[in-house]
Amino acid sequence: MTSKRFPWLTNNLIGFSIASICSDASHEMVPLILPTFLIVLSSPSQAPLYVGIVSSVSAFTLSIMAFFAGKLSDRSYNRKRLIELGYFVEGIFMGLLGFATHWLQVLGGTTVAGMGRGIIGTTRNTTIADSTDPAYYGRAFGFRQAMDTIGSIIGPLIVYGLSGWPVRSLFFITLIPATLAFLAIVIFITEVPRPQAPSSEVSPALPLPHEFKILLTALFLFALGNFSKTLLVLRTQELLSPLYGIPNAFSITILLYSFRNIIQAIATYSMGALSDNIGREKLLAIGGFLCFGVVSILLLYHTASLLYLTVVFFLSGISAGTTTSLEKSLAADMLPQRTRGTGYGTLTLVQSIGALLASLVVGYLWTAISLQAAFIYAAFLSISSGVLLLFFGGT
């Protein structure tokens, strides 16, 4: 059922939104805990490299699983079971990180959790697209992403409130919202009828429209420079610790990160709704890609000014909200219904391969050369992706 006032607010969207709040509250606790945890398990000098490796490998497994889950969702009537499996796997293995005693065990846990997240993204986005009138894609995807971001505000606040607890205990706390997310999927989500029976044959080639290929290219370039949020947290703690001390720097970073996520939540829905009226590509290029290039440039400077860092986190939230909202609705505009699962899977694959290289390369450049090399690399690719979409995109 949908309301007359909000025709895009379907029961499936409501269910996914509740699950997103809970799941992201769980998921977003981890980037704040992980840097400190990896420092404890290794050393401060090696932590940036290990953060990069863990983030990159997790992103890579997410991409592979998303691609195959997308193809499977186009051929299966039971998408709900796939989504339930994804939420279950991600929640359990994030919580189990609390038992890790070596950084390689952290790598293993985040890798399996990333597989679960890969299953979720593709099948959820396909179900939302199939449940929604195309005229409201921007609002629907923006609203769901905004609820996701509300969860990403709650998660850091939980960490802040429990900052006196042992780090390991915080991983176990993530199991509570993860369980609620799984229950929301079980209770609320229903299958969406499709006009034709799914094909059992594997297509020899993906029938992707030309404009979608341009979008994929731009998103891949952006993903190559879009380093993990965990590295943003690590850089902020590095800047603040000499002036405020490690405990206070940790608390300030959590508040800045929460502020960023509030901005992201506002941007996801507002940019999605705006794109329904003025178009998506230029908005994505400027508000998403070019904005992140500015963030990367600002991180080059060694300043612990709270006002300066607030601007950095504000722009990071705008970029993240714009990108996560518009990339999905823009893809829905371009992809025919019968290949949406494959298209979303391919999009996630391309992005996650880029993310694999991004965090790995940025972490390596930071550790082996300099942080200047790391953030110049990120800025160059982000700006290049924005220019590509501005001048060569077009639906």
The CATH number that applies at residue 166 is: 1.20.1250.20
The confidence band for 204, taking pLDDT boundaries of 50, 70 and 90, is: very low
Q: Work out the average pLDDT over 32-50.
A: 80
The Cα 112–Cα 60 span in angstroms is: 11
**What is the extent of the structural domain holding 325?**
11-189+209-392
Tell me the three state secondary structure of residue 179.
helix
Integer-rounded Cα radius of gyration of the chain: 20
**Residue keyed to tokens 């991600």:** 90
Tell me the three state secondary structure of residue 196.
coil
Would you say residue 195 lies in a domain?
no
Are residues 378 and 362 in contact, defined by beta-carbon separation less than 8 angstroms?
yes
Q: Work out the average pLDDT over 63-81.
A: 76
The confidence band for 268, taking pLDDT boundaries of 50, 70 and 90, is: confident
Q: What would the DSSP string read from start to end of 27-51?
A: HTTHHHHHHHHHHHHS-TTTHHHHH
The reported pLDDT for the residue numbered 4 is: 62
**Cα of 107 vs its chain's centroid, Å:** 18
pLDDT at 2 over 70: no
Would you say residue 336 lies in a domain?
yes
pLDDT at 338 over 70: yes
pLDDT at 196 over 70: no
Structure tokens at 191: 């299958």
pLDDT at 80 over 70: yes
Contacts for 340 with CB less than 8 Å, ≥ 6 apart: 74, 125, 126, 129, 130, 332
Look at residues 151, 182, 101, 133 and name the one whose alpha carbon lies nearest to residue 333. Answer: 133
Taking phi over 0 as left and psi of -120 to 50 as alpha, with beta for the rest, 247 belongs to: alpha
The Cα 132–Cα 12 span in angstroms is: 10
The C-alpha torsion from 162 through 166 and 167 to 169, rounded to 10°, is -80
Are residues 386 and 289 in contact, defined by beta-carbon separation less than 8 angstroms?
yes
**H-helix or E-strand spanning residue 279:** none
The reported pLDDT for the residue numbered 297 is: 93
The reported pLDDT for the residue numbered 200 is: 46
Would you say residue 200 lies in a domain?
no
Would you say residue 198 lies in a domain?
no
Would you say residue 5 lies in a domain?
no
| Secondary structure string (H, E, C) spanning 81-109 | HHHHHHHHHHHHHHHHHHHCCCHHHHHHH
Look at residues 274, 282, 297 and name the one whose alpha carbon lies nearest to residue 376. Answer: 297
| Range name among 183-192, 282-291, 327-336 with the lowest pLDDT average | 327-336
The reported pLDDT for the residue numbered 292 is: 94
The confidence band for 180, taking pLDDT boundaries of 50, 70 and 90, is: very high
**Residue keyed to tokens 């006002």:** 307
More confident call, 265 vs 76? 265
The reported pLDDT for the residue numbered 207 is: 64
Please tell me which of 103-107, 129-133, 278-282 the model is most confident about, judged by mean pLDDT. 103-107
State the average pLDDT for the chain: 84
DSSP letter at 136 equals: G
Would you say residue 261 lies in a domain?
yes
pLDDT at 393 over 80: no
pLDDT at 197 over 60: no
Would you say residue 317 lies in a domain?
yes
Q: Dihedral sign, CA of 82, 75, 121, 15?
A: negative
Would you say residue 204 lies in a domain?
no
pTM of structure: 0.69
User: Above pLDDT 90, what percent of the chain?
Assistant: 26
pLDDT at 102 over 70: yes
DSSP letter at 199 equals: P
Q: Work out the average pLDDT over 43-59.
A: 78
- Total number of domains constituting the chain: 1
